[in-house]
Structure 1
Amino acid sequence: MKRFIALIFALSLFPLSAHACGADTDCALGDRTYRIQMPDTAGDKPAALIFAHGYKGSARGTMRNKSLAALAERLGVALVAPDAIMDDWSIPNAPGQSTSPDVDEIAYFDALKEALISKHNIDPDRIVVAGFSAGGMMVWNLLCARPDDYAGFIPIAGTFWAPEPTSCDTPAANIIHIHGTSDTIVPLTGRPIAETHQGDVNKTVAMYIANGGYSASDSPDMTPDLSCESWRSEQEATMTKCLHDGGHSFKADHIKAAWKTLMSGN
């Protein structure tokens, strides 16, 4: 009995999160965390869908979204849930309570990608970043700074905070932006919040088309409720804007269609 008690005490000295890291337990990443759900049929180097949560969301909440978890399993990919250090992502021009000069979100995503490759054996060439609402805003900021680091980006119902940037890093990224025309939380033209104003989606798309040297192209086959416009760069990157008549929400079917389009290279 004494030996058993001693063993239990010894085990308690080790951080269990390092061993139980996954969908239900935080994975340590410096002073930050993330969660990951590996597919049942992972293979040697599975692909990964990173999904950035919205305002007041969390990695825990992302993993509790049954539609996202089921989608990742159907696609046979890892679902990765990054976690904002505060209630919201710290991104340029956001309301004062949501930003901090001490928080470098781009560096966090750089470290997250490295952890996925080195610790979880994720295929570095098949990582797509999606996000909803404030998470969509995070995705736009990430693709502006790291366009060539991921296979593609799926920002949903979110863009930059105004003033929108006048340029982004190149080469051009593969992007499918999805937005509801009846969205009143993050309207297509944005809305004022405190001392700030949400950006305009059409201005953002126009800026990125010019920045990446895109030209009008055939639109991919998505879901019947999405109306899409597409542009293609000289380097064969694609920029697609898809609208639906709904409000501030996202559908797993939309993400599935966007994932398959990005992975097919269309």
Structure 2
Amino acid sequence: MIAARLTALAIGLCTAGSAQAACGDDPAACTVPGGSYHIVLPDGAPAATPALVFLHGFGSSGEGTLRNTGMVEAAVDRGYAVIAPDGQPREGRDGLSWDFHPERPARRDEGAFIRAVADDAAARFGLDRDVMLLSGFSIGGSLTSYVACAVPGSFRAYAPVAGSFWRPHPAACAGAVNLHHVHGWQDGTVPLEGRVLGSGVAQGDVFVALQIWRTANGCRLQPDAHGAQGDYQIRSWTGCDSGARLDFALHPGGHSVPPGWADLALDWFEALP
């Protein structure tokens, strides 16, 4: 179990604080071909530290991700590094975003970039490349879903928040994945059913995405378990033919990373076989 491995890693960790790692002359950003990322490490982190790789939302940045101190501190206090990649500049606008829409040409292979960030951070800071959870918020959650669908083995597991596929939905994914999707019941920015934006592109339907994941994982239609955990209503597919796990958690709020999300996601991640 991942949980046993992380318990062993936690021995000797000082979790009273955390340190943003420096890369070269810049105390904030590390660079890889095609882009940059930011990282926070647990104090006294041993070799083979696990990591949460979190992709920011539209108009934000990796540095902006690290300003979500509740999420970052919750992960760091559990012994995780938090890796926050940077999206690409938006022409004529502030902030960054991601380039992945299935019907638009991409300036960068985002999946290859995210994998390069994870590989670089593992080599540079002694992280365990095999114990990384890829997550993201909003459009970052969408990119998380596309990476999981196209190259399932890119990360140990995936946890998109308030973001999923866009239309046209993928016809199929390349293989099974462990995936934990969280969404707000009242989300009006990325509604569960999706919507058409002013640019003409259309967000996908989260329920259609769940069927795509069930098919990829070899799950039956009905969940194997469902119930409440705090503010979350969770449906879980744990008996899939592939052995992979799929969870869908709804909370009553809107378009946000809800309070307590990091512990919810990392509890799930550590319980994976």
TM-score interval (norm. to shorter): 0.7 to 0.9
Residue in 1 that maps onto 2:182: 178
**Structure 2 residue corresponding to 1:230, chosen from 230, 236, 258:** 236
Pairwise CA distance, 1:175: 0.5
TM-score (norm 1): 0.85
1:258 maps to 2:265: yes
Pairwise CA distance, 1:18: 3.8
Residue in 2 that maps onto 1:85: 88
- Structure 2: which amino acid aligns with 1:61? G
2:132·2:155 contact (CA, 8 Å) conserved in 1? yes
Residue in 2 that maps onto 1:5: none
Give distance in 2, aligned partners of 1:20 and 1:256. Answer: 33
Give distance in 1, aligned partners of 2:255 and 2:121. Answer: 30
Give distance in 2, aligned partners of 1:252 and 1:29. Answer: 32
- Structure 2: which amino acid aligns with 1:76? G
Residue in 1 that maps onto 2:145: 140
TM-superposition CA deviations, 1:226-245 (whole Å, max 9, x none): 10111132232101111111
Q: Secondary structure at the match of 1:265?
A: coil
**Structure 2 residue corresponding to 1:203, chosen from 184, 205, 208:** 208
1:48·1:80 contact (CA, 8 Å) conserved in 2? yes
CA RMSD after TM alignment: 1.9
Residue in 2 that maps onto 1:125: 130
Question: Unpaired segments of 5 or more residues in structure 1?
Answer: 1-16
Pairwise CA distance, 1:19: 2.5
Give distance in 1, aligned partners of 2:248 and 2:190. Answer: 16
Aligned residues: 243
Write 1 or 2 for the structure with the bigger share of helix: 1
1:110 maps to 2:115: yes
Larger radius of gyration: 1
**% identity of equivalent residues:** 30
The 1:221/1:146 distance shift into structure 2, 3 A limit, reads farther
The 1:50/1:222 distance shift into structure 2, 3 A limit, reads farther
1:50 maps to 2:46: no
Write 1 or 2 for the structure with the bigger share of strand: 2
TM-score (norm 2): 0.83
Give distance in 1, aligned partners of 2:262 and 2:244. Answer: 18
Question: Unpaired segments of 5 or more residues in structure 2?
Answer: 1-21, 90-95
Give distance in 1, aligned partners of 2:54 and 2:191. Answer: 21
- Structure 2: which amino acid aligns with 1:119? R
Q: Secondary structure at the match of 1:144?
A: helix
Pairwise CA distance, 1:144: 0.6
Give distance in 2, aligned partners of 1:92 and 1:157. Answer: 17
